[in-house]
Amino acid sequence: LTTTHLLHLSHTLSPAYLSVIHITMGGCRPRTDEEIEKETGVCREKHENRNASNELPDGVLNPSPDDPTVWTDKLGREWKLNAEPNAAYHQPMSVPVAWIRAHLGTFIPALKVPNLKFISPNADGRYSEVCANRYTGELVIKQDILGTFNFCKDAPDAMIDGKLPTTGEHHLLDVVPHEEYGSEYKHIAKDIPMGSLEKGPVILGTLEKM
């Protein structure tokens, strides 16, 4: 492949598809499911069903008075609000545009991204993740941008840092499978099959005005 060919591919294929293209002596080919599973230990079925373990808040979330990045539900479970650039993959726009708007929105409120992202550890140490619209409070249920369950357990500081690490188990078990297998998730969240809701339930008790 020449540089010209690669530039043409970069403009015509989606980022998700480009991420699974591997350059070989004979050209380009997508990785097989077997190759992906061998690298990550996560098969396509396990990846696409990951949200069967994704727990939702009990009732609605509201920020705590002592830390506006820690929101709690009706039972007192804590959910950590992620920095908005870290929610770029969960916006109804391209990731580069969302990332830029997430930074500019701090200074220009009209450019704020609409969706907020929260994480919270389950009892087994793996992380549930939800995204909700900051203006309506509704859970994001669109298949390609909703919050997804994280298999990683090596993130003891996630609730302090407000993000999962970009290396280690999170990269291997969560990021790579999403990039390779895609977003054909079978569940919105635990006990909620994909396609069973017309719109997401309200999970935020504190809303912003547009």
Place of tokens 């280690």: 168
Across the beta sheet with 78-81, what order do the strands follow? Answer: 62-63, 70-72, 78-81, 115-121, 127-133
**pLDDT tens per residue, range 10-33:** 444 444 444 444 443 445 688 999
**Contact of 128 with 112, CB cutoff 8 Å:** no
pLDDT of 14: 45
pLDDT of 2: 45
**pLDDT tens per residue, range 71-112:** 999 999 999 999 999 999 999 999 999 999 999 999 999 999
Sign of CA pseudo-dihedral 66, 68, 73, 77 = negative
The CA distance from 84 to 205, in Å, is 19
In DSSP terms, 62 is beta-bridged to 72
**pLDDT tens per residue, range 145-155:** 999 999 999 99
**pLDDT tens per residue, range 157-189:** 999 999 999 999 999 999 999 999 999 999 999
Pairing of strands 70-72, 78-81: antiparallel
The CA distance from 55 to 23, in Å, is 39
**pLDDT tens per residue, range 55-82:** 999 999 999 999 999 999 999 999 999 9
Here the tokens at position 177 are 């499978």
**Contact of 113 with 101, CB cutoff 8 Å:** yes
Where are the strands (E) in 12-126, listed by range? 21-24, 27-30, 62-63, 70-72, 78-81, 115-121
